[in-house]
A and B are shown apart, each in its own frame.
Chain A
Amino acid sequence: MPDPVLSINDLVVEFKTEDGIVHAVDGVSYDLFPGETLGIVGESGSGKSVSTLALLGLIPQPPGRIVSGTAMFKGRDLLKLKKKELRRVRGNDVAMVFQDPMTSLNPVLTVGSQLGEAIKTHYPDEKDDAVKKRVIDLLNLVGVPNAETRYGQYPHEFSGGMRQRAMIAMAITNSPSLLIADEPTTALDVTIQAQVLEVMKRVQKETDAATILITHDLGIVAEMCERVLVMYAGHIVESGTVETIFRAPRHPYTIGLMDSLPKLTEDEEWLQPITGAPPSLIDLPPGCPFHPRCFLAREKCRQENPPLKPVDGGAGHASACHFSEELIGRKSKFSEEAVV
């Protein structure tokens, strides 16, 4: 097995607020291998975005704080890099695509100049013409029509889908080895979503970058990712390949997620949500964060936080549940269907 491109170990991030300390990310560890697409799934508040923002140092440090952990990228710990070093990595070796294309582009600068900035920041000696040409090439790659004209236009003249494509183009300008996409399609219409995902697939083929795709949409995970992490309340509760997770989930939360999805091939009278509400991240009680809503919950769950343990079944399949064995043999809703 090749060396991982990114290796995160025991990352802990917290935020100081008026109401107390919010434990946004509570001990997250995973590896990412070159060329692979890793999905991170979870609800809002699960810590999925924060864990990746921390990598690029994009967490505002006064309220936020990276308490501990390492993030080894190409032999260096991203979390310990000095500002200058980190800036050289951002937009260069590690790039990010954000959720809301409406607000993620500067409204007073042309799209062309913003994409050009991505190049000029890291290659200041490039001539303007060369930069412009590269930007137009990128816009073509991501499927923005009339790239020449679009170059001089402002973000508000782009549609939502086009803006997101421009964002993607901006991210891959300098051929990053790691691309992080934070809910890239959440703010878009479903039909546009499909288009943008197509673009992402194309881009991945071109650049062969390792990709982290953050989403709350299991459908997107099924379509785009090879492996997936399921996060809840700042912890990874399950990890494995997409096939395994969909066919044979081994964590009550993952099962709950699957069960709550409506099935196209059957008639369902009622949707099945997970009972209860997501927890406050401030005063997390000891024990498993999911136990108040878990159908497997026992006394042990209230007291001990289950570690992420490998589960037999698939390679690299792990679950953070004390009683994951009881779920063996339990089929998910989608077990009979061919996944991916």
Chain B
Amino acid sequence: MLTYIVRRILYSIPVLFFSTFLSFIFVAYAGNPLAQLRSNPRFSEQTVQNMTHQLHLDMPVVERYFLWLQDVFTHKLGNSLYTGQALWPQITRTMGHTAQFIIISEVLALILGVSIGIYSAIRQYSVFDYVFTSISFLGFAMPTFWLALLLQIAFTDIFLHYNVRIFYTSGLNSLPGGPAWSWDRLQHLALPIATLCIISFALYSRYMRASMLDVINSDYVRTARAKGVSEWRVIMRHVFRNALIPITTVAALNFGALLGGAIVTETIFSLDGIGFFFIQSLNTLDLYAVMAYLLITAIAVVVFNLIADIAYGFLDPRIRYD
């Protein structure tokens, strides 16, 4: 099992390298951040040239990549092209906020999705099943941003009409810099979490249900029944454990989508998270900030995939020996 983990980790490193390299080349070629400055009469040609040199923009791309890579390790991701300030503290702060509500959403979505998926499969074609299948279909069809907006509108309306604030519709805390683990924070994060949770839930419950149904008709389940095992034990011990295996893959593949969802919800709910940071960097064509975001998220995805792989190995003994 240990070798399996080590192997997965080693495999991730070239992947990271490649993805950041490709991203860098892409970003570098696609836009010249100083192009805007050029058209601005306040900056003389000389200033622009100086800046170009200072920011190494006149070097070949590959060299710049390695310079950047160096910066990543020595200067902690370097400085923002736009603000000139260090990126690292910004990244850590925003990443922390994003991580908080993403993790809560994912855990909730998994627990709810798996449970409802199991029950839907056991009570196939019941009212319960139909209701939740419909909810899943809706979840698949709804744009994340729209769901977020709906929730925002609904709760704003409630506030406007009844003067009662159940959940906040923007910001992380009522006062900037408020505590991370407090009722206030929870009230502010409730709607973003609800948004991401509902969308992920639709996915997990549907796949869990399908997986359960798949397994329930397996030969080994029939064997268990033929042994006289009670239906409850058959479901919990034989069906559930096997049905859970594909869900790890689904969760892993969904993580990228989850980060995308974070971008959207943070924008809508004005949360100081890494997604919002990313949008701002794109708007200002802040090359290094964009790269910082891409690198961090790539690492996050790789780490998450690693966790999913390990979980998979834990659940499925067959995979541990390949």
Q: Report yes or no: B317 in contact with A156, Cβ–Cβ below 8 A.
A: yes
Give the residues from 209 to 237 in chain B that come closer than 8 angstroms, CB to CB, to chain A: 217-220, 222-231, 233, 237
Size class of the B contact interface (CB-based, 8 Å):
20 to 34
| Cα A138 to Cα B241 with chains together (Å) | 27
Query: Which residues of chain B have C-beta atoms less than 8 A from A122's C-beta?
Result: 228
- A100 & B219 in contact (Cβ 8 Å cutoff): yes
A interface residues with partner B (beta carbon < 8 Å): 56, 58, 60, 83, 87-92, 95-96, 98, 100, 103-109, 117-118, 121-122, 154, 156, 167, 170
Question: Is B42 among interface residues, defined by CB-CB distance under 8 A?
Answer: no
User: Cα distance A122–B230 when bound, in Å?
Assistant: 10
The answer on a CB contact under 8 Å between A98 and B228 is no
A142 to chain B, nearest CB (A): 16
A96-B226, A118-B227 known; 8 new pairs, CB 8 Å cut-off, are A90-B227, A91-B226, A100-B219, A107-B220, A107-B318, A121-B230, A156-B318, A167-B223
| A108-B228 contact, Cβ under 8 Å, with A98-B222, A156-B317 | no
Inter-chain contact total with CB atoms closer than 8 Å: 74
**Given A87-B228, A87-B230, A98 and B223 contact (CB-CB distance below 8 Å):** yes
Decide: A90 and B316 in contact? CB cutoff 8 A: no
- Of chain B, the residue at the smallest CB distance from A156 is B318
Contacts of B224 in A (CB 8 A): 106, 117
* Contact assessment for A104 and B219 in the assembled complex, using a CB-CB cutoff below 8 Å: yes
Chosen A-B contacts, 12 in total, with CB atoms closer than 8 Å, are A87-B228, A91-B226, A91-B227, A91-B229, A95-B227, A98-B219, A106-B224, A108-B317, A109-B241, A121-B230, A122-B228, A167-B223
Closest to B229 in A: A121
Contact B318 A88 (CB under 8 A): no
**Proximity string of chain B (136-172) to chain A, C-beta cutoff 8 Å, 1 when within and 0 when not:** 0000000000000000000000000000000000000
When chains A and B are docked, how far (Å) is the Cα of A99 from the Cα of B191?
53
Please determine whether A90 and B318 come into contact, CB atoms closer than 8 angstroms.
Answer: no
Question: Smallest Cβ distance from B300 to chain A, in angstroms?
Answer: 29
In the complex, what residues of B have CB within 8 A of residue A167's CB?
Answer: 223
Contact B228 A107 (CB under 8 A): no
Interface string of B230-264 (1 = CB under 8 A from A): 11010001100110010000000000000000000
- Residues of A with C-beta under 8 A to B218: 103
Q: Give bound CA distance, A89 to B225, whole Å.
A: 11
